[in-house]
Amino acid sequence: MKSNAVIAIHGGAGTILRASMSAQAEAQYRAALRDVLQAGQRILAEGGHALDAVTEAVRLLEDCPLFNAGRGSVFTADATHELDASIMDGRTLEAGAVCCVKRVRNPVLAARRVLECSEHVLFTGEGAEAFAAAQGLALVEPAYFHTDARYRQWQLAHDRQQTMLDHDGAARASLPSSESEAPEPTPQEPLDPNRKFGTVGAVALDAHGHLAAAASTGGITYKQPGRVGDTPLIGAGCYANDATCAVAATGAGEMFMRMVAAYDVSAQMAYRGATLEAATNDVVMNRLLRIEGRGGLIAVDREGNVALPFNTEGMYRGYARVGETCVTGIYR
């Protein structure tokens, strides 16, 4: 059976420079992306639903400590974790999301339950945790989310007493910063290659012609407690509609919220007949940059076209068509 079924994923965008990445680290990231893609690909190859493929892909990305979502999430200023996730079904336009959860092992599974088992779309904080617990989802001690690498980032940020984007560095020096209140690192200070916009996401088209999108994040290192970015917000960080496309975004969340970035891709396709490529390029390369919004997004349309644009140095990304070899990328 010939199918356009395809899944695309990302593991965050930012300053990811070839020069500062060891061959070993690169191989590790590529292998992780490939594993996740193959899991999604298997679901789609068996005639599974796009909604299931993106749920599973994001669950795996949450469980992988390399990426800033679930285990491996960055720390807030209070050295805690606050996680956000969302999911949308392009077939029904149903959606579910949670934000600011501290003990839900897999926020994307909580978002999925909100979509399926609640009349609501978004739960925050303890109410979201109570909902997840009532749904029988795994809650964990906050220590579960701790990784030494992220804790070192927190310590660094704590020493600097500033908001630090979790892997970003050079971009901050070379582009006008959206966090202009935060003091810039002194020019003498070596730029931190570990700073990027950490989010994970997945979009998929299944063999039945349905689209879905999911996203999850630990936010930004040393963020103020309670800050919510674009990831759990339908239309900002995540959107899916069988009539147009599925989109998951990663980047300076506030700019994606102000631009209603994920939905804007769909609106450009629906209302002015833009192609997926044209619409995603306009959002990432024009509209977001106009307000200094750095990041990228992954998108797939109902014909199986895939677009993975980003305006940063790199974005962990990949896609896999049913019956074909996975494609992964990191740098430009």
Question: Which of 38/124 has CB closer to a second copy?
Answer: 124
Among 291, 265, 317, CA closest to 37: 317
On the 0-12 / 13-18 / 19+ scale of CB atoms within 10 A, 27 is exposed
Instruction: Closer to a second copy by CB, 39 or 278: give it.
Output: 278
- How near is the Cβ of 223 to a second copy at its closest, in Å? 8
Tokens 């720390």 belong to residue = 75
**Residue 135 vs residues 87, 104, 111: alpha-carbon distances, Å:** 17, 11, 11
Among all residues, which ones are annotated catalytic?
199
Cα distances (angstroms) measured from residue 169 to each of 4, 97, 184:
38, 30, 10
CB of 16 to a second copy, least distance (A): 23
SS3 of residue 284 by DSSP: helix
* Cβ proximity to a second copy, 105 vs 317, nearer residue: 105
Closest CA to 81 of 156, 175, 151, 159: 151
Q: How far is CA 61 from CA 37, 132, 201, 228, 320, in A?
A: 10, 19, 8, 20, 16
Q: In the complex, what is the shortest distance from the CB of residue 229 to a second copy, in angstroms, rounded to a whole number?
A: 8
Burial (CB count <10 Å: 0-12, 13-18, 19+), residue 60:
buried
- Closest approach of a second copy to the CB of residue 10, in Å: 21
118 versus 174: smaller Cβ distance to a second copy? 118
- From the CB of 28, what's the least distance to a second copy, in Å? 32
Cα–Cα dist 221/158, whole Å: 10
CB of 238 to a second copy, least distance (A): 11
Considering the complex, state which of residue 99 and residue 307 has its C-beta at the smaller distance from a second copy: 99
At residue 229's C-alpha, the angle toward residues 32 and 20, to 5°, is: 40
Which residues make beta-bridge pairs with 306? 300
H/E stretch holding 251 reads strand 245-251
Nearer to a second copy, 36 or 122 (CB): 122
Residues that bind a second copy (CB under 8 A): 88, 93-95, 99-100, 118-128, 130-131, 163, 178-182, 223-229, 233-236, 239, 253-254, 257-260, 263-264, 267-268, 271-272, 291
CB 201 within 8 A of CB 178: no
